[in-house]
Structure formats: C-alpha cells, structure tokens
Structure 1
Amino acid sequence: MSLLAAPDPGWPAQAARYADAWRAHVGGLVAVHHIGSTSVPGLPAKPIIDLLAVLADEAAADAARPDLEALGYEWMGAFGLPGRRYVRLSDAKTGARRVHAHAYVQGHADIRRHLAFRDALRANAALRAAYTSVKASCAARHPDGGAAYGACKSDWIVKAEAKALETYK
C-alpha cells in the first residue's frame, strides 16, 4: 500500500463534516479551514484530512481541549510549533488516522502561511505538479511517512510557502 492516495473528490465533504462538528462543539471558534493536500483538487495525499482552526483568543484556545477530547481528538499541545494547539483524530475501530488539526489564535502568522500555500496550490497547476513530484519522491524514500517524510518535503514547502505569501496576502 502506498503512503499517498489518489485524489479523492470526497475529501472536501469529509472535511466539512469534521469542521461542522468543531463549529457545533468548540467554543470561541472563529473559523475552520480545510488545508493540506486533501484540500487541493487533483493532488495525491495521505488520506488524512487537515484542518486549520482559528480561535478567538488564548483563553478559547486553552478551553477547547475538553471539547475536542469529547469529540475523540487526542490533544498534543504545541507539538513543536509555538502558538499551535495540535490535535489528531483516529478511527476508534481501526486506529487509522482521520484528521490532523492545527488550531491557532486569530492573528497568528501560521494561519496566513497555511492558507496562502493552499490557495497557491489550488490556483497553479505547475506548482501542483511540482508538489506532486516532490511528494511522490519523498513517499518512495519514506514509505512509512512520519517525520522523515515531512522532513523530506520541508525545504521545498518552505520555498513554496514564501512565494505564496508574496502573492496571497
């Protein structure tokens, strides 16, 4: 089985269902965005939905923990990125990862970075093709995914994000 799945037109509907649950159960939520490769039509991806949640303030971000844990999410805290609250959701029966969610307080710079990268990929076929190639190469070298797969893509992503931030302000 490959680390990357073929693009699935059902990913946006899955993301919408998860985002709706956040809206219904998480206080202080300003917005929830579908990000990552599953948010870009035509892009192969690990079949895990990435969400970007924007919370009103630090108090709301900290208070979100019990709400998210009640929804079945595992609270990971900043998980290496200052200002982020990271949670993940796995299928209770199979253990397969379903969602990675990155929550930030409104105004945090990483919100704009994530959205700019997503929007650049959606708008630019050449960028999507280049990213597809990078992802495929990294998946072949790191078929188990994880940190090694992420590190493999990292330099390319940092450069692409910087360019995207110039365009998508």
Structure 2
Amino acid sequence: MSIKVEVVPHDPNWRSAFETESKLMALALGENVVAIHHIGSTAIPQIHAKPIVDMLVEVKDILKIDTHSSEMAALGYQAMGEFGIPGRRFFRKARTHHIHSFEVGSPQIERHLAFRDYMITHTEAAQEYSELKRKLAKKYPDNIQGYMDEKDGFIKAMDLKAAKWRASH
C-alpha cells in the first residue's frame, strides 16, 4: 500500500486541533490519563511537517487502554496495538491524528518530550530537520517507509543531543 508523503509549512491551527482532541481523549480514556502532550513536528513552530497531529497520552495502566477501544472507535480512531514499539498503544484517525499512549515511567515519554523541547529551543536543528523532511518528501512521494527510514538516523542523533541537553537543564 502506498501512502502519499505530504510535508507542508507549519500551520498554527495544529495547536488548536491538539487542544480539541486532547479534551476528547481525556473523556474517552477517563481517570487512567495522567497527561496529554502535543509531540511530533506539528508541535514545533515554524517547521514543515506531515499534517498529522501527534499526541502522547501518558497513562497509569497501559493495559486499561485496551478496554477503551470502543470509545476510541467512536471518535474515529483505529486501534493498532503496540505498532512496533513495546509498551505502546497506538491509534490513528484517518490522516489527521496519531495517538501514542505509554504508561507513566516509560522512557519513550521522556524521549518524545526531550526531542520536542530540544527542537523548540534549538531553531537551527529544527530548520535542519524541516529541510530534511521536505527533501525526503520529494524523494519518496509515495513511499512512507522510505521517508521514515531515511530520516531515522537524523532523529536518533537528535534524540542523543536532546537527552544530553535535557539532563543538563
């Protein structure tokens, strides 16, 4: 299955789309929710991104997420299970939102938040990432896996820098 790779300029409406959806998530998942974070490129001002709002939902008990599949389906989400990352519950809504849910204490939470915050405070790195995304979207217009694979090295390098930066703050 080929998925069109679309990378567009930053849209200030992504923030309100996150806020609206996070309220729905909090209602759907109930008291298990600890925090909901806007992550991914749509959370980084002034960079190009795929127009999909990524959300990280921090929960007390990851297994309880599985009991809320009908509530998530009612909101238009497809449950994808761990989807390649142990301890995660991944949901996707058409081509508008991705929900990454992790249990409190998961190192994945810190990794995602550190990357986001590093990119927000290090605008040169963010612009480098933006340019890479634009270049790869042109190179892989119908190959989401090729696009993801080729930006993986950059993301891993930034994850290391972000972790060091976060530890020093």
| TM-score of the aligned structures, taking structure 2 as reference length | 0.91
Contact 2:29 2:65 in 1 (8 A): no
Matched, 1:16 2:19: yes
Structure 2 counterpart of 1:15, which letter? F
Task: Work out which of the residue numbers 59, 65, 85 in structure 2 matches 1:61.
Answer: 65
1:33 Cα deviation after fit: 0.5
Task: Work out which of the residue numbers 108, 111, 114 in structure 1 matches 2:109.
Answer: 111
Matched, 1:165 2:163: yes
1:163 Cα deviation after fit: 0.9
What corresponds to 1:94 in structure 2? none
Structure 1 segment 1-169 matched on structure 2, within 5 A:
3-27=6-30, 28-90=32-94, 97-169=95-167
Structure 1 counterpart of 2:23, which letter? D
Cα distance between partner residues in 2 of 1:65 and 1:168: 34
Distance 1:147 1:2, change over 3 A: closer
1:2 Cα deviation after fit: 7.2
Contact 1:61 1:105 in 2 (8 A): no
Q: Give ranges in structure 2 of 5+ residues lacking alignment.
A: none
Q: Give ranges in structure 1 of 5+ residues lacking alignment.
A: 91-96
Cα distance between partner residues in 2 of 1:168 and 1:145: 33
Structure 1 counterpart of 2:48, which letter? P
Cα distance between partner residues in 2 of 1:36 and 1:141: 21
Structure 2 counterpart of 1:62, which letter? D
Distance 1:17 1:123, change over 3 A: same
Superposed CA deviations along residues 2-31 of structure 1, whole A, max 9, x for unmatched, are: 711111111100111111100122121111
1:71 Cα deviation after fit: 1.5
Query: How big is the alpha-carbon RMSD for the aligned residues of Structure 1 and Structure 2?
Result: 1.5
Superposed CA deviations along residues 136-164 of structure 1, whole A, max 9, x for unmatched, are: 22111111252211111000000101110
Partner SS for 1:26: helix
Structure 2 counterpart of 1:44, which letter? H
Runs of 4+ in 1 over 4 A off after TM superposition: none
Superposed CA deviations along residues 100-142 of structure 1, whole A, max 9, x for unmatched, are: 1111111110000000000011111111111112112211111
Figure out how many residues of one structure are paired with residues of the other and give that number: 163
